[in-house]
Amino acid sequence: MIYLEPITYVLRIYADGDSFEKQSPYTASGTVQVQGDMAYIGGFSGTITRAQYRELLQLLAAMGINLLISKRRGKYKIRRLKEAQGTQEQAFAKTIAGSE
């Protein structure tokens, strides 16, 4: 028996009204690697609005992701997605040096 699990996704972010189906240009892109209930976003380039960031967090949470990890300016950002349901102040990742 052979089992393949999708663990790498292409992330593309579009402006309002634009989409992949319309072959619109995207405003940001990156890759999302999934391992269990954790995801790592890497190679991110472009701009993302707060609303788009919240939408991304909700999409990942709907996929069963509980922990989001990214690296920016040499520091890891670790985000527990259950907090994403709270206030806007909670919508940004806790910055830590190194990994948790």
pLDDT tens-digit readout, 16-58: 999 999 999 999 999 999 999 999 999 999 999 999 999 999 9
Give the number of domains in the chain. 1
Flag whether the pTM goes above 0.85.
no
Task: Give 94's pLDDT tier (boundaries 50, 70, 90).
Answer: very low
Tokens of 64: 């069963």
Q: Strand ranges (DSSP E) for the chain?
A: 8-13, 28-35, 38-46, 67-72, 75-80, 94-96
The span from the CA of 48 to the CA of 46, in Å, is 7
* Residue type present at position 38: M
DSSP one-letter code for 35: E
**Domain CATH code at residue 83:** 3.40.630
Tokens of 12: 């593309």
Examine residue 60 and state whether it is found in any structural domain, yes or no: yes
Residue where the block lists tokens 């520091």: 75
Examine residue 27 and state whether it is found in any structural domain, yes or no: yes
Per the structure, the complete domain to which residue 85 belongs is given by 8-96
Examine residue 3 and state whether it is found in any structural domain, yes or no: no
